[in-house]
Structure 1
Amino acid sequence: MSLYADPPDWELVTLGELLRWPLPYQEGAVNRGLLRAVALAARGRVLAVSGLQNVRAGYDPFILALNHSTRTEALLVPAVLTLHRGGRLIHFMADWNFRLIPGIGLLYRRAETLTVTTKPARPRVLDALRPLYRAPGSVLDHARATLARGRSVGVFVEGTVNRDPETLLPGRRSAALLSLETGVPIVPVGIRFPHAAPGRPIGDGDAMEVRIGPPLLPRERLERPSPAALRAWHATVMGEIARLSGKRWSPAPGSGRLVGAPPRRAALPPPSHGAAP
């Protein structure tokens, strides 16, 4: 298969197809094996992915902005996207607590995640280990440096797992801030759970569909975005995620309609076939 033709939507693949999947951007047999193993685990959980043409490796850098309904999607969705990108990583922001879990910590290190150390550990006694995972500078500084190197960044913008089947959380503005500061487009992603029982919280075992929207390009690059500009761009992004995920969104609990300017969709250039890993 070609990495540069428009990719088909993800559907369930066989073990043989996974083993033969080209991964030119993944170095080392261990990394390739781990990626294929997690992608295999996604077969029964990620039912479909549409819009893969919007996250091809040649379109880096971009900021992937997703809703967040289960703990498992933080492993499975990045693995499926990395597989379709030929092994080229999207560097997701991830809570440091997960690095304490055997196996998960290994996967996060191999995936070169951007570690967020703001939340306390569970149990709290493990907070003594937090300095071991805190890198110099903020996670936003590391995200800016990642984008400047031509790499893409992933953000679960709700900031925590939200099991509400109908409504998004107001969300955090880090993705919008990075986009305005750098001029890098945001690729909105909605994760749906079509077979979840209506009226109950979304569970970690519920199968998901992933819908990737076209890139959203900020109207201008702002070294220091004003609160109003940041608020409006965040609302635009969250509105697209709401549309893709099939959920409602409002900027604050109890507030009304969506706010924000109509999105400006980025025109996708031809992918750079020789993009460096």
Structure 2
Amino acid sequence: MSSEQSAESEHDPESHSPRHAGFRYAVGRMIARPLARVIYRPRIEGRENVPQHGAVILASNHLSFIDSMAIPIAAPRPVHFLAKSSYFEGTGLKGALSREFFTSVGAIPVRRGAGQAALDALDQQRRLLDDGLAVALYPEGTRSTDGRLYRGRTGVAFLALQTGAPVVPVGLIGTDRVMPVGARMPSLRERVTVRFGAPIDVSRHGAAASGKARRLATDEIMSAIHGLSGQELAGVYNEPPAQGPIDKIKQALPHERR
């Protein structure tokens, strides 16, 4: 393989897929789970609610950077999630360590953004589910910086309705105290609680092509997450402040948040 081909494979999302990274993930999971349990002593509830086989979506609230580590560590089966592609594209020793770490915890690189980037991310998640894997997603779209639970975007419901995968709601408690936004290192004094709720079959709401079905399914999922996390409800979407008049108009108009 040429050096150019080698470089391409490092940045190719397919080279980090579960099929290619299975051994590294298995080793990382074998090491990380017992180590994290010793250090953080997480409280784990409802593990029996996670199906042992077949496609499943773990839909969680999102409070901290470490949420994507807490869920795979607590789950009774391998769980995969999408992570910013920049975590896999660094150079030198730091880049290599970042790439190996995120691969070992089940992360799959994706280029984030709106429009086509968002559709590509949904398609990548659908392929994981089509392979019978478990994926973790955050319906809020981004971390809550004030601890409240924001309205869910409909991408999770779309995937569930499209693939038929059950949705297991997850309530994370305390991850924002273990590693607050802006912190460089996690605290060793706090404990995390991970609660897995009963699986939800959203198919009764209708087809994936129906905006009403996606909204109803999303609201049902968010209600279950709220019951597990106990957070205050924000009642709005978690999105950055509008940067200009066009963005303000877009946010004011009624539209479905994917």
Aligned residues of 1:46 and 1:209 also touching (Cα < 8 A) = no
For 2:108, the equivalent position in structure 1 comes to 114
Q: 1:39 aligns with which of 2, 8, 33?
A: 33
Aligned residues of 1:180 and 1:220 also touching (Cα < 8 A) = no
1:237 aligned counterpart, secondary structure: helix
For 1:156, the equivalent position in structure 2 comes to 138
1:195 & 1:152 partners in 2: Cα distance?
Answer: 24
Pairing 1:87-126 to 2, within 5 Å after superposition: 89-99=78-88, 100=90, 102=95, 103-119=97-113
Q: TM-score, structure 1 length as denominator?
A: 0.63
Deviation for aligned residue 1:31: 4.3
Partner amino acid for 2:133? R
Aligned residues: 204
Pairing 1:105-254 to 2, within 5 Å after superposition: 105-119=99-113, 138-165=120-147, 167-193=148-174, 196=177, 204-205=186-187, 206-220=190-204, 222-249=206-233, 251-252=235-236
1:128-169 residue CA offsets vs partner (Å, 9 max, x unmatched) = xxxxxx8xx71211221221222222102222221323x112
Which runs of 5 or more residues in structure 1 are unaligned? 1-25, 121-133, 255-277
Aligned residues of 1:93 and 1:156 also touching (Cα < 8 A) = no
1:219 aligned counterpart, secondary structure: helix
Deviation for aligned residue 1:69: 0.7
1:138 aligned counterpart, secondary structure: helix
Q: 2:68 aligns with which of 45, 51, 74?
A: 74
Aligned residues of 2:28 and 2:105 also touching (Cα < 8 A) = no
Q: Indicate the structure with greater helix content.
A: 2
After superposition, the Cα gap between the structure-2 partners of 1:79 and 1:249, relative to the gap in structure 1 and judged at 3 Å, is same
Higher mean alpha-carbon deviation, 109-118 vs 41-50, is at 109-118
Partner amino acid for 2:171? G
Partner amino acid for 1:159? G
2:128 aligned counterpart, secondary structure: helix
Aligned residues of 1:164 and 1:202 also touching (Cα < 8 A) = no
Aligned residues of 1:180 and 1:223 also touching (Cα < 8 A) = yes
Deviation for aligned residue 1:176: 0.9
Which runs of 5 or more residues in structure 2 are unaligned? 1-20, 239-258
Q: TM-score, structure 2 length as denominator?
A: 0.67
Aligned residues of 2:42 and 2:193 also touching (Cα < 8 A) = yes
Deviation for aligned residue 1:105: 2.2
Identity fraction in percent: 25
Aligned residues of 1:173 and 1:234 also touching (Cα < 8 A) = yes
Deviation for aligned residue 1:113: 3.0
1:244-269 residue CA offsets vs partner (Å, 9 max, x unmatched) = 01113355259xxxxxxxxxxxxxxx
2:237 & 2:56 partners in 1: Cα distance?
Answer: 29
1:219 & 1:56 partners in 2: Cα distance?
Answer: 17
For 2:243, the equivalent position in structure 1 comes to none
Q: CA RMSD in A?
A: 3.2
1:237 & 1:46 partners in 2: Cα distance?
Answer: 27
After superposition, the Cα gap between the structure-2 partners of 1:46 and 1:244, relative to the gap in structure 1 and judged at 3 Å, is farther
1:31-66 residue CA offsets vs partner (Å, 9 max, x unmatched) = 4442233223422335211110111423x2111101
1:55-96 residue CA offsets vs partner (Å, 9 max, x unmatched) = 1423x2111101111112212321332xx32xxx22212222
